[in-house]
Copies of this chain bind each other. A is one copy, B any other.
Amino acid sequence: MRNGAVPDVVIRRLPLYLRVLHRLRREGHRTVSSEELAHYLGLTAAQIRRDFSYFGRFGKQGYGYEVDALIRELEAVLHLDRTWDVALVGYGHLGQAIAHYRGFVPNGFRITAIFAKSPEHIGQIANGIVVLPETEIERVVRELGIRIGIIAVPADAAQEVAERLIAGGVRAILNYAPATLHVPSHVIVREIDPISALQSMTFYLPRMDEVPANGVSHEDVDFTAALPAVRRQATS
């Protein structure tokens, strides 16, 4: 296993493990079993043990995993034992919301450059960062050594922005634009696409507005014996 490739689907689960582990640590748990983790995440214990096994033997038989040590291991695997600078492109409604989001820093990311096209946005200041014109992307990204970009521009501008980011040295793109980016194979892209997520859920909803006569009422529902919907999806 050591020399083999790690499936991307495994990599995408690691941040979810970290999220739960941080919560457990906050709540004072010292150890955790694969069974408990599975419960919290709506996965199976075997899957969690298998996932960890790609990277090492983090557990102790008859005991489980030490929360603290496991966090350190997984953060090292994901290269989260440092802070990553991020370039944000787009400063409309969405871009501004992203620029002001307080969740990046505690999770290892820091927006250190912001770019916009519209003259009304350029020169504004967000969290102490001056919004620069998009023509500066390549130069600034290169000078700051930024490897991660967030695209929050309209769909028809996304490809061009991606190319500028990549020209400046970006290797990972978080794409909020509803467009498929065409990038070279050394660049990774993840999509944030709420419209697609909604549109894929309506498949499972009956067309009619009325609640079926035999529908399940909430009193019948067992929220603790979780069979979370997480299992039927990957990422959004």
Contact = CB atoms under 8 A, between A and B. Distances in A.
Interface of A: 1-9, 11-12, 14-16, 18-20, 40-42, 54-56, 76-80, 82, 84, 86, 93-94, 97-98, 100-101, 103-104, 107-109, 145, 147-148, 150, 159, 163, 166-167, 169, 171-174, 178-207, 209-211, 215-216, 218, 220-236
9 contacts: A5-B222, A7-B226, A15-B193, A20-B180, A77-B203, A79-B206, A167-B218, A174-B198, A182-B229
B201 A188 contact: yes
B223 A15 contact: no
A48 to B, nearest CB: 13
Contact of A180 (B2, B41, B148): B41
A172 to B, nearest CB: 4
Given A197-B235, A200-B15, A172 B5 contact: no
Contacts of A209: 145
Query: How many identical chains are in the complex?
Result: 2
A105 B23 CA distance: 37
A227 to B, nearest CB: 5
Contact of A184 (B104, B183, B193, B221): B221
Given A145-B209, A220-B6, A199 B107 contact: yes
Given A184-B223, A197-B174, A203-B77, A229 B189 contact: yes
A232 B2 contact: yes
